[in-house]
Every structure is written in C-alpha cells, then in structure tokens.
Structure 1
Amino acid sequence: EAITKALAETQALAVSMQINGTPAFIVDDKVFPGYVPKDQLIEAIAAVRANGGCKLC
C-alpha cells in the first residue's frame, strides 16, 4: 500500500514536470531528459552558479 502510494505520487510529479522517461536531470529550471554527457551537466551547473545560484532552491 505505502509503496503503491509513493510510486503514484512520484509518477504524478513526473507527469506534472513533463518527464516521461529515465534518466532525467534537473538543473535549476532546465530539464535534461535522457542521457546527458558529463561535460554538458558540468556546464549547466557552472552557468547556474555563475548567475547567482539556483532560482528554484
């Protein structure tokens, strides 16, 4: 019961964020669906840090 509820809540959150597969990475307000090269994630994180940090945190 608890596991089913947790899975349903997680799925609802994913749907609300338009995430329909794994993996998915969220960096600030950008969603990176699927495989993302390490360098691209590092660049995205560096850009957020350079602009004053996360807007959503």
Structure 2
Amino acid sequence: MATIAAAVVGVFLNLAIWFGLHVIFAEVAERQLLKVLGHFTWPLTRALARILHQA
C-alpha cells in the first residue's frame, strides 16, 4: 500500500511542478542531460517515492 501511495504522490508532485512551471514561464524548453541518457525527467519524484517507501 505504501508503494501505491508513493507512486500517487510522485505523479501528483510531477504534475504540480509541470503546471507550476508552465504557469510561471511563458515558454518552457525541454533539455537533455546527456545524449546517451535521453531526455532529463524529474528524478525528484523517484527519489521522493523511495523516501516515502522507506518510511
């Protein structure tokens, strides 16, 4: 159950950050961390899910 809760919180935070950035800034460009890794996504949500899962 904790895993599901962590996933839901991660999705919610990801959407909140995405909408917040698009409300604050008129144009939001997608960046690549490294060509090998592909597009940089929000690692914060994964880290938060791990932290909540351990609690």
Q: TM-score, normalised by structure 1?
A: 0.35
The structure whose residues are more often helix, as a share, is: 2
* Larger RCO: 1 or 2 (CA < 8 Å, sep 6+): 2
Q: TM-score, normalised by structure 2?
A: 0.36
The structure whose residues are more often strand, as a share, is: 1
State the structure with more CA Rg.
Answer: 1
